Amino acid sequence: MSEGRYTLRHSDQQAAHRARSGLGLEKAVDKEASTSSQLVTLNGLSLDARSWFARNARHRADGALLGPLGEEDLRLALDPLGDAAPALPIVTSGDLARLRRTLAALDRHQATADQHLAHALRTVDRLATAVRTREFLLSSWPGSLPESERIRRAYVTAAGRPASASASDGDELLRDCVESLCLRVPRAKGSPTAPLATFVAALAVEDGLAAGTPGLTGWARGIGAGVELVDAFAAQARRAAENRLRLVVSLHSAMADEWPETLLVWLLDGETLVGREDFRCPPTQAGVEQRLGAVLAWATRQARCTGFRLKRIDIAAPAALLACWRPEEARLGQRLGLYYDIVLRWSDRLNLPAHLGLINEFARNQLDEMKDGPATPVNWLDKAELSAVQKLVESLGNGCYGGALALRHRPERLQELLEPLLAYAPMVLWPDGTGDLPQASQDSVERNWARLPGEFSAAYRTSWKQGDPAHEHTDLARVRSVWLDEQWLDFCDAFANDSVDGENPR
């Protein structure tokens, strides 16, 4: 076994006692793991502390009520209380209730630090909410029993990030997601039950349940989240309305790196065609961008008839134009991207050449694999990999890279590299400027992955307004992307099935 170092963490209340026994613990770790261990004592309470030992979710006592995250946070919360806190584990809801009563009785104990006791009580209350919610979803849910994929989608909606890559499926996944929403997701501001209410509302909306469904309101009142549940349903309705209409503007009639003479435009309400039009334009970037004003005026008139506002624009273009064009910066009085979320698409998927005839079907398989893969399915390519283009394309064809491709370095001839990458990867990301992409930007992509591609538009807007240079969006705004999802593949299929020369998909 290779040399390593274990760092052991403890709280302040029993530091002296543990320091005395620390030497024996160090020797035991050294002997077992053949390492050099070090005992470190930390003073002060960290509400975001994590256990020193990397616990395996599979190695737990049978019949335990809590998951590994719940057990860890409870242990950390009780540890500073010393012998005053009852022994673990918590096996039943009754155990958790008794623990709560014991902690409440300590409130008058002068030797108990108020901050530690308050944190312990808060942790127990949130765990009780997690247990109650899990039991409600498994036993009394008024809709269909949530399956793993639905649970993961609802968690992304509530937490803004995917569930842990180590999370399992089924009951364990539900338990881990609910505990995370109760213990780890609540912020310093806002209601601590809001993330959990958002999670439940997301599941309910998929089942067609209303906010006033008796089972839902009873659960919400029981955990003190009645208003939070109503707010969560309202937020879901707003997002659905904002994302309902989609304007597709395609430049696929362009030849090579030239600009097109015609913009093909569709306005969609979900998958239903609202309107379809062609717009002639001068074959220049300025001509295309100027014509976008007429496109938006037409789309806005069409959108009013639906009763919804247009927020989302998909712009499809050949790889050569995607490499250099920033359509969100087009000035139509104000920048196009100031009030619209712009998503770039590769237009070649609308008119596939014979040798790439199956790539859309392969892409569906890739997207399915990404759902069950890592939480952030990004392959970062360095300069050496990008310089060996033929070897890279061969590896892509062999399926060596699953998920998105992200370039750490912007090649001088990006437009020549972009097309083969887009043929094999559902998403391709690259630096906006010349040279290497800063590590902070790479980290920002991974942190925000669950919010992409929409978060790119928000990041660009922040950068235009010259906000705080330390803002998360400043790093993300340095990244460009072309995106593929099932919605775009469905549109490509409709286009292929219902047209030969660019007629409407209906």
Centre a 10 Å sphere on the Cβ of residue 444 and count the other Cβ atoms it contains: 21
CB contact at 8 A, 194 and 230? no
Task: Give the per-residue pLDDT at 106.
Answer: 82
Nearest of 51, 2, 8 to residue 27 by alpha carbon: 8
Burial class, 398, CB count within 10 angstroms (exposed 0-12 / middle 13-18 / buried 19+) = exposed
- Residue 130's alpha-carbon distances to 63, 93, 123, 233, in angstroms, are 16, 11, 10, 20
Q: Residue 284's pLDDT is what?
A: 96
Q: Could you tell me the residue ranges of all domains in the chain?
A: 7-39, 80-224, 238-351, 356-506
Query: What are 141-144's contacts with CB under 8 Å, separation 24+?
Result: 141/203, 141/215, 142/207, 142/209, 142/213, 142/214, 142/215, 142/216, 143/203, 143/204, 143/206, 143/207, 143/208, 143/209, 144/207
Beta-carbon count within 10 A of 69 CB: 25
CATH code of domain 238-351: 3.30.420.40
> What integer pLDDT is reported at residue 188 of this predicted model?
57
Element (H, E) at 305: helix 285-306
pLDDT of residue 219: 97
Tokens of 186: 């609540």
| Plot region of 270 (φ>0 → left; ψ -120 to 50 → alpha; else → beta) | left
Predicted local distance difference test score (pLDDT) of residue 105: 86
Torsion of CA 154, 156, 157, 159, to 10 degrees: 110
From first to last of its 506 residues, the chain has per-residue pLDDT tens of: 333 332 333 333 343 333 333 434 344 334 433 444 443 333 333 333 333 223 333 334 445 799 999 999 999 999 998 887 877 678 999 999 999 998 888 865 544 558 889 999 999 999 999 999 999 999 999 999 999 889 988 998 998 888 875 657 789 999 999 999 999 986 656 899 999 999 999 999 999 999 999 999 999 999 999 999 999 999 999 988 888 999 999 999 888 679 999 999 999 999 899 999 999 999 999 999 999 999 999 999 999 999 999 999 999 999 999 999 999 999 999 999 999 999 999 999 998 878 888 999 999 999 999 987 777 899 999 999 999 989 999 999 999 998 999 999 999 989 999 999 999 999 999 999 998 999 999 999 999 998 999 999 999 999 998 766 767 799 999 999 999 999 999 999 999 876 544 444 44
Measured CA to CA, the distance from residue 286 to residue 312 in angstroms comes to 22
Q: pLDDT value at position 7?
A: 32
In angstroms, the CA 251 to CA 475 distance is 29
* AA identity, residue 163: A
The model's pTM: 0.74
Phi, psi of 273 (to 5 degrees): -75, 125
DSSP 140: I
Closest CA to 99 of 75, 115, 133: 75
For residue 144, the one-letter residue type is S
Cβ count near 468 (within 10 Å): 9
Half-sphere exposure of 224 (CA within 13 A, CB side): 9
